[in-house]
Amino acid sequence: MTLLIDLSLGLGTYPTVGDDLLQITRCDPGLSSFQPTEFVLQVTYTPKKAATAPSNLLLAIVDAPVNVLVVGVGSTYVLSNGTAISEKAGVIQPGDLVNPITIWYDITDAGGKHWLVEDANSQKVHLPRAVLVFHELAHAFHMIQGDYPATSPEREVQAIRHENEFRSVVELPLRHSSSHEGFTGIPDHGGLTFPTCTVESTPCPTAVAAEALGSPHAPDLDALRSVRRRYKDLSAWCTLASGPILDLYPKFSPAIVHDMRRDEELRCAIFTRVVQPLFGLREIVERFLDDQADDAGVVAMSDEVLDRYLAALDPAALTTLSEAAGAAADAGQRLASRSARAGDGLFDYIVDKILAADGDATGFAWGFAGLALFLRRAAERARDGGGVSEEFLLDFGDWLARPPIPPGADLSQADPRAELIILREHVFTRPHMRHAFARHLLGLWPSRAAPELRALLSELSYMGAGNRR
């Protein structure tokens, strides 16, 4: 049980929520998150900075035995009783058997009109977003503690006491101890600027935290999720291929995140050798599958992606890229053969975690093969400055054309003609990819039905003239 950030009820607002939580900890690098399901981010917190009252409250909620869900919303959000949040700024709903304690808070600062509250002298001061969500978290804290007062005024006095602790830390005007009234407009004093902290620059940014909590990498995560949404249900065969990956990932990833929280070196290695290359690979894949893109355009874009990746690496990491590429390729082969061989490298560690989760790892084997392609090309570019070549495009297309089909999967349950037409339109837009996929598919097809499939593949231009290999 823990603190969760909503991904589904809100509207892509999770980076803002993550940033507000980071502000409560004053940018403690010990704050992180991972995605256990497609609906939420789960917050983890191992304090690395000196504790403050607000950070301790947040830690208590993260470690609590109940779930607290935080949803960042626009001002026109309507609760189930018809009340618009536009007049409340923040609302907390207690949990029940099927719902967590839920905090809804306006992340738009009253639609740009600025939320105000009264200070000790009944002057109006700004209620910044991070302070607003902390106020609601204070309510949640006392719900969990079991000392949540029975009346609304008492609850507000209790939460305002905590709010003022946060206001003191960030040196904002303190709020009136018992006035819960809210307004919009320009404050009488104190201004509208919140003293934003910034994440300390390190050679290796907090990997998962940086990506999930509103850093510049959040758009990359969004893009990955978008790819998943677009392709996983594109056709029956796509669903078949993606199912084991989506099933297995939540079984092993929490263990890796747990270790990342405690080991900065591990976190840095995964970021530079897995996460960043994965983001780059995604970009190249999307451009490659775009049937409007010509080879020259894909080559130019791929070179840019590689250069961007290389520019972010420190010199030591650059020199070991070839070794990393080899290790990634080896990891793919180990996953494909489920070979539990002892090793102490990064990819040995990841393979062991995946195999220990005991599921179909063929999807991840395929993924590591793609990662190896990317890292190998990056190593070559770092070494001799050479650009992406036609050979790389062929290798890349071959890799994409061999998506992971679970062993024993019955592909003939879906209509092969319909599947092949969909895939030709959306995935295998290039002739050589269709040819490669045809070979791959025939290898998986029941031999007695192979002639029929072969005829269909020829009819739909998956086989025939133009095979470049």
Q: Which residues bind other proteins (CB under 8 A)?
A: 8-13, 16, 72-80, 82-84, 86-87, 97-99, 102, 104, 107-109, 111-113, 129, 152, 180-184
Nearer to other proteins, 99 or 458 (CB): 99
Smallest gap from residue 302 Cβ to other proteins (A): 30
Nearest C-alpha neighbor of 364 from the set 259, 278, 441, 270: 278
Q: What is the distance between the alpha carbons of residues 140 and 376, in angstroms, rounded to a whole number?
A: 49
Nearer to other proteins, 82 or 407 (CB): 82
DSSP 347-415: HHHHHHHHHHT-S--HHHHHHHHHHHHHHHHHHHHHHH-----HHHHHHHHHHHTS----TT--GGGS-
Smallest gap from residue 101 Cβ to other proteins (A): 12
Nearer to other proteins, 97 or 311 (CB): 97
Burial string for 236-259 (b: 16+ CB within 10 Å, else e) reads ebbebbbebbeebbeebbbebbee
> Could you tell me if 119 and 212 are in contact, meaning their C-beta atoms sit under 8 angstroms apart?
no
Smallest gap from residue 152 Cβ to other proteins (A): 6
Q: Is the dihedral of CA 156, 162, 165, 167 positive or negative?
A: negative
Torsional class of 403: left (φ above 0), alpha (ψ -120 to 50), beta (otherwise)? beta
Nearer to other proteins, 98 or 342 (CB): 98
Smallest gap from residue 128 Cβ to other proteins (A): 10
Smallest gap from residue 279 Cβ to other proteins (A): 20
Q: Is the dihedral of CA 258, 264, 269, 274 positive or negative?
A: positive
Nearer to other proteins, 43 or 73 (CB): 73
Nearer to other proteins, 217 or 334 (CB): 217
DSSP 124-189: EEE--HHHHHHHHHHHHHHHHHT---SSHHHHHHHHHHHHHHHHHHTTPPPBPSS----EES--SS
- Tokens coding 191: 């201004």
Nearer to other proteins, 181 or 314 (CB): 181
Smallest gap from residue 218 Cβ to other proteins (A): 11
Smallest gap from residue 113 Cβ to other proteins (A): 7
